[in-house]
Amino acid sequence: DAKTTQPPSMDCAEGRAANLPCNHSTISGNEYVYWYRQIHSQGPQYIIHGLKNNETNEMASLIITEDRKSSTLILPHATLRDTAVYYCIVRVPTSGTYKYIFGTGTRLKVLA
Amino acid sequence: GAGVSQTPSNKVTEKGKYVELRCDPISGHTALYWYRQSLGQGPEFLIYFQGTGAADDSGLPNDRFFAVRPEGSVSTLKIQRTERGDSAVYLCASSLGDLPFGGDTQYFGPGTRLTVL
C-alpha cells in the first residue's frame, strides 16, 4: 500500500512557482522522502530527496514539515517541459534493503 | 555516461507464451530493481537484486514471474505462460548499492511495454 497521498492533478502558469503537496503521515523516522517525475512514455526521473531538512538542487526545492508528516516540492519557475506526473515516494527499508513505494502521483500541467 | 537501458522497448506476445525482458544497469551499480506500471498507476515494486542475489522478491505476483542477474550486471525478467493481465510497462532501475545511511537514488530505464493479446 502507498504511504503517500497526493492530489491527482494541478495546473500551473508558465513562469510561476509550482507547489506540489504530499502527505506521508505514517512515515517512520528513518524513511526518506523522494520525488520523481515521469514524462509520458519515459521512465521516472529523479528530482530530489530528503529526510528532515529542507533540500534544494538545480531542479527543485523540497520542504519537509517539522513533524515529517508532509512535504512540498517546489519548482521555482515552471516551464512547459515540466508538464509530467510527479511522484512523492517513501523509501522503505526492508530486509536490509530499500524499495520505493509509489502512489498514483500528481499530474502537473504547465499552461502557457 | 550511459543510463539504464532496457530491451526490447515494445513486446507484443500471445496469451500463454514465454517472454524475456532485459535490463542493462548503469556501469558500477550493484543494486538493480524491477517495477511494473499499469496504465494510470504508479510503478509497483517487483524484485530487488544486490549483486547476483535477489535480496527482496516480495513483489513478484506469482510463480510465473522470475528474474535473474547471473553476473551481477545485466538482469532478465522472465514471464511464463503470459496472461492478458500481465500487459504493462516493466521498468528497471539501478543504484550504487545498499547504504546503511543516507539516500540511495534509483535511476530508471525507459521501460519495456509488454502487450499480451
Residue in chain B closest to A91 (alpha carbons) equals B103
A32 to chain B, any CB pair closer than 8 A? The answer is yes
C-alpha closest to that of B65 among B51, B45, B50: B45
Q: Please tell me which of the candidates A43, A87, A105 has its beta carbon nearest to residue B109.
A: A43
Half-sphere exposure of A107 (CA within 13 A, CB side): 7
C-alpha cell at A109: 500541467
Q: How many CB pairs under 8 A join A and B?
A: 63
Average pLDDT on B39-48 reads 92
**pLDDT value at residue B61:** 95
pLDDT tens-digit series, residues B22-35: 999 999 888 899 99
**pLDDT value at residue A97:** 66
Residues of chain A with C-beta less than 8 angstroms from the C-beta of B40: 104
Residue A13, pLDDT > 80, answer yes
Contacts of A106 (CB under 8 A, 6+ apart): A6, A7, A8, A9, A10, A20, A85, A86, A88
**pLDDT value at residue A92:** 82
Q: Please tell me which of the candidates A32, A43, A103 has its beta carbon nearest to residue B103.
A: A32
